[in-house]
Structure 1
């Protein structure tokens, strides 16, 4: 059953009734969840493919959100009938990251309400971790640019996993790092693939509609428009 935050008091009551346990840790995706970065990140792909291959990849990025760099490159190469060999991946990844950081510097902002939400978690000693399909350099850049670095001592990136989302590996590893069973964790995601990974892992999965409409995220346990709609009673009662 998916709950949507149209009537917060009623939804909170139903969630607490159907999920009576207290969740003990929170796993955050980065792009679109912690940081308002999806548009700039996708725009960097546009610049790269136009500059290097004279190809317009368009503005529909729904099929790449939540994917690793390797998966994104393979997808675009296949879509535009380009010859792909694994040895070109490091070069493309480095170019994309350079373009992204140049275009995003000074423009990134934390997702509205996320700092306040994280602060409440820390005040109540709730462990938190970042688990993102992005490369580590990008995640660290995003957190530094938005003033979120000091909140997170643990980050899991695409560099540390074998299987990208929707495979649950990254969230299972995050729970292991937190030393909390995955079914006692909350995953917060913004993409369809991320929500699928969260559900497959066994975590209580919250989807925030920063990148997709609610109807696309209805596999999640709870769909919210903003962090203020996440019932903190799930975490501390």
Structure 2
């Protein structure tokens, strides 16, 4: 049995990186390359500590982790340039996404995105995978003061929808993202990617296998 929502679910708020699009695969390559240039390693512990946070916060973790001499601004610029160099032929949507989007529409639920990424980045990414017209709005790092795991982004997303957080279903692939959804009071489901399968998802209603997990649609139908 899956936990029943405390309130009727009226909207689904999706994370972006690693949840809808396989960008974590590319970020792994980017992180590995950036650290290689500096004679450092990009191991699973570092990647896990960075995942789900806004870019500058994530890169700050890397700088502190390896005591790098780079400024945050320089490392961010290099990271972005390397990402777009590597991403061209590697982007794909995650398994089950399009069927789930159809199911959300079928059940009459609204759809929005809440991502730790910057707006320009997120808009470009959504265009490249032809998802930019599927959602009511896009909330990004540009719209908030506190990044995930702080609940602000999911509180603001619910407010923009005109709903209580408990009336929203949040789908997240990372520990930090799930913490944000849970703290906001949303019905939060973890959908790990291969890069986050070992994260701590304590507090999530359940851990889905993929976006095709039938339990997600059970919640929508409920």
TM-score normalised by length of structure 2: 0.89
Query: Deviation at 1:25?
Result: 0.6
- Within the alignment, does 1:36 sit opposite 2:39 as a pair? no
Partner of 2:3: 15
Query: Deviation at 1:67?
Result: 1.1
- Within the alignment, does 1:181 sit opposite 2:164 as a pair? yes
**Cα pair 1:35 1:108 within 8 Å, conserved:** yes
- Within the alignment, does 1:220 sit opposite 2:201 as a pair? no
What whole-Å deviation, never above 9, does each CA across 1:36-82 have from its counterpart, x for those lacking one?
1102023213323444xx23232321111101111112111112223
What whole-Å deviation, never above 9, does each CA across 1:126-174 have from its counterpart, x for those lacking one?
1111111112222223222222222124111112211111100011111
SS state at 2:50 partner:
coil
2:176 to 193, 207, 212: 193
Query: Deviation at 1:232?
Result: 2.4
| Aligned residue-pair number | 218
Provide the C-alpha distance between the structure 2 equivalents of 1:206 and 1:105, rounded to a whole number of angstroms: 30
Query: Deviation at 1:185?
Result: 0.4
SS state at 2:130 partner:
coil
**Cα pair 1:50 1:56 within 8 Å, conserved:** yes
Partner of 1:5: none
Q: Structure 1 residues 105, 94: closer, same or farther in 2, change over 3 A?
A: same
Alpha-carbon RMSD across the aligned residues, in angstroms, is: 2.0
Provide the C-alpha distance between the structure 2 equivalents of 1:216 and 1:72, rounded to a whole number of angstroms: 18
What whole-Å deviation, never above 9, does each CA across 1:174-218 have from its counterpart, x for those lacking one?
111211111110110011111111110000000012132367223
Q: Structure 1 residues 137, 59: closer, same or farther in 2, change over 3 A?
A: farther
**Cα pair 1:22 1:234 within 8 Å, conserved:** no
SS state at 1:150 partner:
coil
Provide the C-alpha distance between the structure 2 equivalents of 1:218 and 1:20, rounded to a whole number of angstroms: 18
Provide the C-alpha distance between the structure 1 equivalents of 2:96 and 2:123, rounded to a whole number of angstroms: 20
When Rg is computed on C-alpha atoms for both structures, the one with the higher figure is 1
Partner of 1:124: 107
**Cα pair 2:35 2:42 within 8 Å, conserved:** no
Q: Which runs of 5+ in 2 are unaligned?
A: none
Q: Which runs of 5+ in 1 are unaligned?
A: 1-10
TM-score normalised by length of structure 1: 0.83
- Within the alignment, does 1:209 sit opposite 2:172 as a pair? no
2:43 to 49, 59, 63: 59
**Cα pair 1:209 1:223 within 8 Å, conserved:** yes
